[in-house]
Amino acid sequence: MGRGKDMKLSIPEIEIMSPGHLACQGCGATLAFRYAIKALGKKTIVAIPACCWSVIDGPFPYSSAGVPVFHTAFETAASTASGIKAALEIKGIGDVNVLAWAGDGGTMDIGIQALSGAVERGEDIIYVCYDNEAYMNTGIQRSSSTPQGAWTSTTPVIKYKKMPKKDMIEIMVAHGIPYTATANIAFPEDFIGKLEKAKTIKGPKFIQIISPCPVGWKFSSHLTIKIAKLAFETCIYPLYEVKDGIYKVRRPNKKKGINEYLKMQRRFSHLDNSEIDNMQRWIDSKWQNLIEKEARSVPAEKYESPKSTKETKTTDIV
Ligand SMILES: Cc1ncc(C[n+]2csc(CCOP(=O)(O)OP(=O)(O)O)c2C)c(N)n1
Ligand SMILES: [Mg+2]
């Protein structure tokens, strides 16, 4: 974490995902997957529930992912990934990563039961939620990850979202899993480093990556990275990890005011100054809480994932 010695300076050159995908221009979720699969490599099987990524991957028999993809029902990313892992174990294959790749709706709303079950069982899977903060694939409906104050097609301006974004990271931490982290497409080394770390950890791993959506957040497609960077710099979307109970928070050089971030997205254009001030106070207190949690955090009891009784072997997946 941080700019110190364990921060990697480059990202793998290998391109596994192919360019002929069906994403919109400036899609953050597409970059997120491109980086994820660079980190995890070809020996990866992905479970994708209904979401933008079911479309982005391409229509059968085409696929841009570059690795085997199991398209599955909206609520089943974690249970499908658990099943794929179980099948690999039965076959004695131990060197293939199983990745659940789901949107925020598929993770924090409809898929939360399957996800909670899978991590409670100690499944040895990596779960990445690419967070574009609404149900984008079906027309920008609000999810529990939509931030307070945002317009969506189901929270129109007079009734824009009043509830805060669900804190899924803390829900995962409360399950006592060995590794939980946030990530940001504007910081690919950090994201790739976290996935490389996740690969080496036995048991459930959960990463949530902010993936700005030009269509749903209402900004011009060339601003995706700038907005993602501001999400980190304003501390509205902190970059941190929790490994075996220990928090590590990456701090911006200078914490910026939320105004700059909000003003770039028309989903927030109806907010007046007093609402923005309220939001700033809320973000400041969340940030302060996180810093204090980091200072207080102590190592958790060692997590023991269920041991497979089978021997595993290596295999070639091309
Ligand atoms: C049981 C069920 N309900 C509703 C749908 C319709 N549906 C498909 S994708 C989607 C939204 C997914 O949102 P999210 O998980 O945030 O991914 P995104 O589209 O934003 O990438 C919905 C509602 C469905 N496929 N199955
Ligand atoms: Mg979404």
| DSSP states of the chain | -TTSTTS---------S-S---PPTT-HHHHHHHHHHHHH-SSEEEEEESSHHHHHT-STT--SSSS-EEEE-TT-HHHHHHHHHHHHHHTTB-S-EEEEEEEHIIIIITTHHHHHHHHHTT---EEEEEE-SSBTTTT-B--TTSPTT--BTTB-GGG---SPPP-HHHHHHHTT-SEEEEEETT-HHHHHHHHHHHHHS-S-EEEEEE---HHHHT--GGGHHHHHHHHHHTTSS-EEEEETTEEEEEPPSSPPPHHHHHHT-GGGTT--HHHHHHHHHHHHHHHHHHHHHHHH--PPPPP-PPPPSS--B-----
Cα of 70 to ligand 1 centre, how many Å?
Answer: 16
pLDDT at 2: 46
| Mutation probe of ligand 1 site: the residue of 137, 143, 152, 153 with most atoms within 8 A of C-beta | 137
CB 246 within 8 Å of CB 299: yes
Cα of 51 to ligand 1 centre, how many Å?
Answer: 5
| Mutation probe of ligand 1 site: the residue of 132, 135, 136, 165 with most atoms within 8 A of C-beta | 135
Cα of 295 to ligand 2 centre, how many Å?
Answer: 32
Characterize the bridge pairing of strands 239-243 and 205-210.
unpaired
Cα of 277 to ligand 2 centre, how many Å?
Answer: 27
Cα of 277 to ligand 1 centre, how many Å?
Answer: 33
pLDDT at 1: 44
Closest CA to ligand 1's atom 13: 135
Q: Which residues line ligand 1 (CB under 6 A)?
A: 50-52, 74, 103-106, 132, 135-138, 143
Token readout for 244 is: 């075996």
| Mutation probe of ligand 1 site: the residue of 33, 52, 113 with most atoms within 8 A of C-beta | 52
pLDDT at 310: 58
Closest CA to ligand 1's atom 4: 74
Task: For tokens 């824009």, name the residue.
Answer: 160
Strands of the sheet containing 97-103, edge to edge, are 69-72, 44-49, 97-103, 126-131, 205-210, 179-184, 239-243, 246-250
144: number of Cβ within 10 Å: 18
297 exposure class (CB count in 10 Å sphere: 0-12, 13-18, 19+): middle
The one-letter amino acid at 203: G
Q: In tens digits, what is the pLDDT along the chain, a chain of 318 residues?
A: 445 555 555 899 999 999 999 999 999 999 999 999 999 999 999 999 999 999 999 999 999 999 999 999 999 999 999 999 999 999 999 999 999 999 999 999 999 999 999 999 999 999 999 999 999 999 999 999 999 999 999 999 988 999 999 999 999 999 999 999 999 999 999 999 999 999 999 999 999 999 999 999 999 999 999 999 999 999 999 999 999 999 999 999 999 999 999 999 999 999 999 999 999 999 999 999 999 999 999 887 765 666 655 566 777 765
Nearest to 69 by CA among 22, 101, 111, 36: 101
Closest CA to ligand 1's atom 3: 74
CATH 3.40.50.970 fits 28-296, yes or no: yes
Domain segments of the chain: what residues? 28-296
Cα of 306 to ligand 2 centre, how many Å?
Answer: 32
